[in-house]
Amino acid sequence: MKNIHLLFLLISFLGFSQSKYLTKSGVLNFEASVEAFEEIKATNTNVTSILNTENGQFAALALVKGFRFKNALMEEHFNESYAESDEYPKAIFKGKLADFSLENIQTTYIINGSLSFHGVTKTLENVSVKITPSENSFILTGSFEIAPNDFDIEIPSIVSSKIAEIVTVVFDFELIKKSD
């Protein structure tokens, strides 16, 4: 039921047209590791995303509890103490691929938009996105960096030296043409 609601939210954001490409199995990875300490890395393989090829609008939605860590205790701390995923269950990106044209597809675009996470919305600008088109799909890949303190995430001083001040987020979405 949640997935249907999330998909409806994304489709309604982008409007209705015949030029939609989407996935419910996009991948987000993030890493906040610091050398000489335990790896802080997680993956979410159930990210819903959609691209409107008529205007270049793009949206992605990840359930925060969908991030998986190697260490179960680290995952628990992430959800309870840092992301507070019961209170803030979703991370949402809404943006637009600059100068996107289906007739003249490029291999690299810049996307600008906003990321909402942990109850805070921040602008993301000039994120480079690599696009690989095929007959009925697009693969969008890229990365960006964020700071936990930009999203009001408090890191206790006792562990602050073990967590990077800048988190690298890597995305990989294979968007399939939506049938009419």
Q: Which domains does the chain have, with CATH numbers?
A: 2-10+25-177 (2.40.128.110)
Mean pLDDT, rounded, of the chain:
90
Nearest to 62 by CA among 24, 91, 85, 22: 91
Residue 173 has pLDDT above 90, yes or no: yes
pLDDT in tens, 38-70: 889 999 999 999 999 999 999 999 999 999 999
Of residues 63, 57, 52, the one with CA closest to residue 3: 63
Tens-digit pLDDT profile for residues 23-33: 999 999 999 99
Q: Given this model, what pLDDT does residue 16 score?
A: 46
pLDDT of residue 18: 57
Which tokens hold the place of 50? 């959609």
The rounded distance, in Å, linking the Cα atoms of 88 and 63 is 9
Q: Which residues pair with 164 in a beta bridge?
A: none
Q: 26: which residues sit within 8 A by CB, 6+ positions away?
A: 45, 46, 47, 48, 49, 60, 171, 172, 173, 174
% of the chain surpassing 90 pLDDT: 77
Interacting residues of 23 by C-beta distance below 8 A, sequence separation 6+:
47, 48, 49, 173, 174, 175, 176
pLDDT for position 126: 97
Q: What is the DSSP letter of 2?
A: H
Q: Name the nearest CA neighbour of 46 among 71, 21, 63.
A: 63
pLDDT digits 0-9 by tens, 102-145: 889 999 999 999 999 999 999 999 999 999 998 899 999 999 99
Give the pLDDT band of residue 37 (cuts 50, 70, 90): confident
